[in-house]
Structure 1
Amino acid sequence: MNGLRATVRLQFHQGFTLDDAVPLVGYFADLGISHVYASPLLAARPGSLHGYDVIDPTRINPELGGEAALRRLVAELRRHGLGLILDIVSNHMAVGGAGNPWWLDVLEWGRRSPYATFFDIQWNSPDPLLEGQLLVPFLRSDYGEMLQNGEIPLRFDATAGSFQAGHYEHRFPISPPNYAELLGATDHPALRALAGRFAALRSDADPRAQAVALRAELAQLAQQKEVAAAIGHALERYDSRQPEGLQRLHALLERQCYRLASWRTAADDINWRRFFDINELGGLRVERPRVFEATHAKIFQLIEEGLIDGLRIDHVDGLADPHGYCRRLRRRLDRLAAGPGRPIYVEKILGQGEELHRDWQVDGTTGYEFMNQVSLLQHDPDGEAGLRALWHNLSGRPADFLEEAREARRLILASTLAGDFESVAQGLLQVARGDLMTRDITLGQIRRALRELIVHYPVYRTYLNACGRPAQDEPFFRQALDGARLALGDNDGALLGHLQRWLGGQPWRRLPRPLRKPYRHAGVRFQQVTAPAAAKAVEDTALYRSAVLLSRNDVGFDSQRFAAPPADFHALCQRRREDFPDSLLATATHDHKRGEDARARLAVLSERAGWYGERVQHWLLLATPLRRLLPDGPAPTPGDELILYQTLLGSWPPELAADDAEGLAAYAGRLRQWQEKAIREAKLRSGWSAPNAAYEEACRDFLGKLLEDEGMRDLRGEIAAAAAAIAPAGALNGLAQTLLRLTVPGVPDLYQGAEFWDFSLVDPDNRRPVDFAARRRALQQDADPAELLARWRDGRIKQWLIARALALRARHPALFAEGDYRPLEVIGQEAERLFAFARQRDARWALVLVPRLACPLLGDSDRPLVDPPRWGDTRVRLPADLPHGSLQGIFSGTAVTTSTGELSVGEALEAFPVGLFFCDRCNGESP
Structure 2
Amino acid sequence: MNSPRVPISTYRLQLNKHFTFQDAARIMPYLHDLGISDCYTSPYLQSAPGSLHGYDVVDPTRLNSEIGSPDDYQTFVDALSQRGMGHILDIVPNHMKIEGPWNTWWQDVLENGPSSAFADFFDINWFPVKRELVNKVLLPILGDQYGLVLERGEIKLHYQDGLFFFAYYDHHLPIDPRTFAHILNFRMEELTAQHDPTQPDIQELQSIHSAVSNLPDRNNPHPNHTAERSREREVIKRRLTTLMDDSKLVADFLQENLRIFNGTPDNPRSFDPLDALLNAQAYRLASWRVASEEINYRRFFDINELAAIRVEEPEVFQHTHEFIFSLIKSGAVSGLRIDHVDGLYDPRKYLQQWQEWAQTELGLSADDHGRALYIVVEKILGKGETLSDDWPTFGTTGYEFLGLLNNLFIDSSHKRDLDTIYARFAKNNAHFEDLVYQCKKLIMSSSMASELNTLGHQLNILSEKHRQSRDYTLNSLTHALREIIACFPVYRTYVTPDPSEPITDRDRAYIRLAVIQAKRKNPATNSLVFDFIQELLLKNPSGNPYLPWSEVHPFVLKFQQTTSPVTAKGVEDTACYQYNRLVSLNEVGGEPSVVGTPLSAFHERMRERQSHWPASLSATSTHDTKRSEDVRARIHVLSEIPKEWKACVTRWHRINKKKKIHIDGQEVPSRNEEYLLYQTLVGAWPFTQLSSPDYQDFCQRMEQYMRKALKEGKVHSSWINPNDAYEDAVCAFVRHILDPMQSALFLGDFIPFQEKIARYGMYNALTQLTLKITAPGVPDFYQGTEIWDFSLVDPDNRRPVDYAHRQQLLNHLVSEEQHNTEGFFSDMLAHYTDGRIKLYLTRCLLHFRRQYPALFQQGDYQPLETLGEKRHHLCAFQRTWEGHTIMVIVPRFLHQVIPNPEHPALGDTAWGDAIVVLPENSAGRPYRNVLTQETVQTRHIDQHNTLPAASIFHHLPIAMMEQLP
TM-score normalized with structure 2 length: 0.93
Deviation for aligned residue 1:827? 1.3
- Name 1:588's counterpart in structure 2: 621
**Deviation per CA, 1:479-525, whole angstroms, max 9, x where unpaired?**
222221210115433322222111124369x6659733331111011
CA contact 1:891–1:916 (8 Å) conserved in 2 = yes
Q: CA–CA distance in 2 between the matches of 1:895 and 1:449?
A: 66
The more displaced of 100-109 and 893-902 is 893-902
List aligned pairs for 1:546-625, cutoff 5 A.
Answer: 546-625=579-658
CA contact 2:488–2:514 (8 Å) conserved in 1 = yes
CA contact 2:5–2:373 (8 Å) conserved in 1 = no
- Name 1:202's counterpart in structure 2: 216
CA contact 1:468–1:507 (8 Å) conserved in 2 = no
- Name 1:869's counterpart in structure 2: 909
- Name 1:903's counterpart in structure 2: 947
SS of the aligned residue for 2:743 comes to helix
- Name 1:222's counterpart in structure 2: 244
1:655 maps to 2:688: yes
Residue of structure 2 aligned with 1:271, choices 296, 301, 304: 296
**Deviation per CA, 1:157-206, whole angstroms, max 9, x where unpaired?**
1x3x1111111111211100111221122536132221111111036823
- Name 1:808's counterpart in structure 2: 848
List aligned pairs for 1:756-767, cutoff 5 A.
Answer: 756-767=787-798
Deviation for aligned residue 1:426? 1.3
Residue of structure 1 aligned with 2:514, choices 480, 487, 497: 480
List aligned pairs for 1:262-411, cutoff 5 A.
Answer: 262-340=287-365, 341-411=372-442
Residue of structure 1 aligned with 2:69, choices 66, 69, 81: 66
Unaligned runs of 5+ in 1: 922-927
List aligned pairs for 1:253-264, cutoff 5 A.
Answer: 253-264=278-289
- Name 1:471's counterpart in structure 2: 505
SS of the aligned residue for 2:789 comes to coil
- Name 1:683's counterpart in structure 2: 714
Identity of aligned residues (%): 37
Q: CA–CA distance in 2 between the matches of 1:539 and 1:51?
A: 21
Amino acid at match of 2:127: N
Q: CA–CA distance in 2 between the matches of 1:531 and 1:682?
A: 19
Q: How many correspondences in the alignment?
A: 916
- Name 1:775's counterpart in structure 2: 806
The more displaced of 119-128 and 200-209 is 200-209
Q: CA–CA distance in 1 between the matches of 2:487 and 2:898?
A: 42
Residue of structure 2 aligned with 1:857, choices 883, 894, 897: 897
CA contact 2:88–2:333 (8 Å) conserved in 1 = yes
- Name 2:873's counterpart in structure 1: 833
Residue of structure 1 aligned with 2:830, choices 790, 797, 803: 790
CA contact 1:389–1:399 (8 Å) conserved in 2 = no
CA contact 1:820–1:841 (8 Å) conserved in 2 = yes
The more displaced of 817-826 and 396-405 is 396-405
CA contact 1:423–1:525 (8 Å) conserved in 2 = no
- Name 2:820's counterpart in structure 1: none
- Name 1:925's counterpart in structure 2: none
Amino acid at match of 1:474: R
Amino acid at match of 2:581: V
Residue of structure 2 aligned with 1:52, choices 55, 74, 85: 55
SS of the aligned residue for 1:472 comes to helix
**CA gap 1:632/1:322 in 2 versus in 1, 3 angstroms:** farther
CA contact 2:412–2:596 (8 Å) conserved in 1 = yes
- Name 1:248's counterpart in structure 2: 273
Residue of structure 2 aligned with 1:212, choices 234, 244, 268: 234
List aligned pairs for 1:371-770, cutoff 5 A.
Answer: 371-465=402-496, 466=498, 467-506=501-540, 512=545, 515-656=548-689, 661-770=692-801
1:192 maps to 2:239: no
Residue of structure 1 aligned with 2:41, choices 14, 38, 42: 38
Q: CA–CA distance in 1 between the matches of 2:60 and 2:244?
A: 33
**CA gap 1:2/1:304 in 2 versus in 1, 3 angstroms:** closer
CA contact 1:424–1:522 (8 Å) conserved in 2 = yes
SS of the aligned residue for 1:46 comes to coil
TM-score normalized with structure 1 length: 0.97
**CA gap 1:517/1:237 in 2 versus in 1, 3 angstroms:** farther
CA contact 1:330–1:361 (8 Å) conserved in 2 = yes
Q: CA–CA distance in 2 between the matches of 1:353 and 1:90?
A: 27
SS of the aligned residue for 2:623 comes to coil
Q: CA–CA distance in 2 between the matches of 1:2 and 1:438?
A: 54
Amino acid at match of 1:435: H
List aligned pairs for 1:115-264, cutoff 5 A.
Answer: 115-157=118-160, 159=161, 161-185=162-186, 187=191, 189=202, 190-202=204-216, 205=225, 206-224=228-246, 225-240=248-263, 241=265, 242-264=267-289
**Deviation per CA, 1:672-725, whole angstroms, max 9, x where unpaired?**
111110111111111112211211111111111111251211102222211101
Amino acid at match of 1:100: N
CA contact 2:448–2:566 (8 Å) conserved in 1 = yes
- Name 1:915's counterpart in structure 2: 959
Q: CA–CA distance in 2 between the matches of 1:821 and 1:336?
A: 36
Q: CA–CA distance in 2 between the matches of 1:307 and 1:164?
A: 40
Unaligned runs of 5+ in 2: 192-200, 218-223, 366-371, 818-823
Amino acid at match of 2:101: A
CA contact 1:648–1:719 (8 Å) conserved in 2 = no
SS of the aligned residue for 1:856 comes to coil
Q: CA–CA distance in 1 between the matches of 2:466 and 2:748?
A: 70
CA contact 1:165–1:174 (8 Å) conserved in 2 = yes
- Name 1:924's counterpart in structure 2: none
Q: CA–CA distance in 2 between the matches of 1:477 and 1:830?
A: 45
List aligned pairs for 1:104-115, cutoff 5 A.
Answer: 104-115=107-118
CA contact 2:41–2:89 (8 Å) conserved in 1 = yes
CA contact 2:879–2:886 (8 Å) conserved in 1 = yes
1:76 maps to 2:88: no
Amino acid at match of 1:131: V
Q: CA–CA distance in 1 between the matches of 2:475 and 2:924?
A: 72
**Deviation per CA, 1:452-472, whole angstroms, max 9, x where unpaired?**
111111111111123343123
SS of the aligned residue for 2:876 comes to strand
Q: CA–CA distance in 2 between the matches of 1:375 and 1:695?
A: 33
**CA gap 1:507/1:334 in 2 versus in 1, 3 angstroms:** farther
- Name 2:197's counterpart in structure 1: none
CA contact 1:544–1:682 (8 Å) conserved in 2 = yes
RMSD: 1.7
Amino acid at match of 2:606: C
SS of the aligned residue for 1:261 comes to strand
1:97 maps to 2:127: no
Deviation for aligned residue 1:81? 1.0
Q: CA–CA distance in 1 between the matches of 2:313 and 2:544?
A: 23
**Deviation per CA, 1:265-295, whole angstroms, max 9, x where unpaired?**
0000011100000000001111010110010
